[in-house]
């Protein structure tokens, strides 16, 4: 499997690295909406980033609820919190530079102590390994949801991809990374659609639930 420039996994990591699974109760408290908003203020999140985060959280939670309906585990609260916090460092890195995923994950780990949420923040841009069979994990729900929310609107993935290219594809290397990410998002969409038994490409939200567009 070819990694994008600048995102090559260390040699000691296998490209099919499995997720480590432990009982959810081992991971401590899950921040609710109010706690996440408090952290937004502490980290000086810009209003437009907050609006984007709300939509990502709504979509991620809807996917988690679908998994729960199918008897595939309950990570609804985790998906909501991870969605609300996935861009926690975005405003800071816009001002000062750096990786908002890496910095955000460290902030989330410091303030929540929950590694599942921190992992979802760290990998919401790029999951560098093969997808596991069990996709009931906030990292995959947030990773996909983020590819469906352009600013504060739910759109199809190709619309979101074009927006990323226009805003961040400032050079050939950046465009290659974004395009490689889009190809992986294709794989994730297919895998997640099969896992959730619904056509995600045709889905939007209504009343906080996934519904297929008519």
pLDDT tens digits, 118-154: 999 999 998 988 898 899 999 999 999 999 999 999 9
pLDDT band at 3 (very low <50, low <70, confident <90, very high): very low
What is residue 115's predicted lDDT score, i.e. its pLDDT? 92
pLDDT band at 4 (very low <50, low <70, confident <90, very high): very low
Q: How many residues in total does the chain contain?
A: 214
Query: Which tops the pLDDT comparison, 5 or 116?
Result: 116
Which domains are seen in the chain, by residue range?
30-212 (1.10.3210)
Contact between residue 94 and residue 75 where contact means Cβ atoms under 8 Å apart: no
Mean pLDDT of 99-126: 95
Strands 203-206 and 209-212: antiparallel
What is residue 5's predicted lDDT score, i.e. its pLDDT? 37
Q: Which of 2-11, 19-28, 48-57 has the lowest mean pLDDT?
A: 2-11
Q: What H or E segment, with its residue span, contains residue 84?
A: helix 76-85
Contact between residue 56 and residue 143 where contact means Cβ atoms under 8 Å apart: no
DSSP letter string, 9-62: PPTTS-TTPPPP---GGGG-----HHHHHHHHHHTT--HHHHHHHHHHHHHHHH
- Report CA 61 to chain centroid distance, whole Å: 11
Contact between residue 40 and residue 50 where contact means Cβ atoms under 8 Å apart: yes
* pTM, two decimal places: 0.87
Closest C-alpha to 73, from 124, 122, 24: 24
DSSP letter string, 140-203: HHHHHHHTTEETTEE--HHHHHHHHHHHH--SHHHHHHHHHHHHHHHHHHHHHHHHHTS-GGGE
């Amino acid at each position: 499997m070819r990694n994008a420039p600048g995102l090559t996994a260390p040699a000691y990591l296998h490209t099919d690295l499995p997720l480590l699974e432990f009982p959810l109760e081992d991971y401590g408290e899950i921040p609710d909406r109010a706690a996440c908003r408090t952290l937004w203020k502490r980290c000086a999140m810009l209003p437009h980033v907050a609006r984007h985060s709300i939509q990502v959280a709504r979509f991620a939670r809807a996917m988690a609820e679908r998994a729960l309906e199918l008897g595939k585990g309950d990570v609804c609260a985790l998906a909501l919190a991870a969605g609300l916090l996935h861009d926690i460092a975005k405003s800071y890195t816009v001002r000062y530079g750096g990786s908002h995923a890496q910095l955000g994950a460290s902030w989330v780990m410091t303030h929540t102590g929950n590694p599942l949420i921190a992992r979802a923040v760290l990998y919401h841009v790029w999951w560098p390994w093969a997808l596991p069979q069990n996709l009931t994990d906030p990292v995959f729900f947030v990773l996909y949801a983020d590819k469906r929310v352009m600013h504060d609107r739910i759109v199809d993935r190709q619309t979101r991809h074009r927006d990323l290219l226009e805003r961040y594809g400032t050079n050939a290397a950046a465009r290659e990374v974004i395009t490689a990410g889009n190809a992986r998002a294709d794989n994730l969409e297919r895998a997640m659609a099969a896992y959730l038994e619904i056509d995600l490409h045709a889905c939007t939200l209504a009343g906080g639930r996934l519904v297929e567009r008519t």
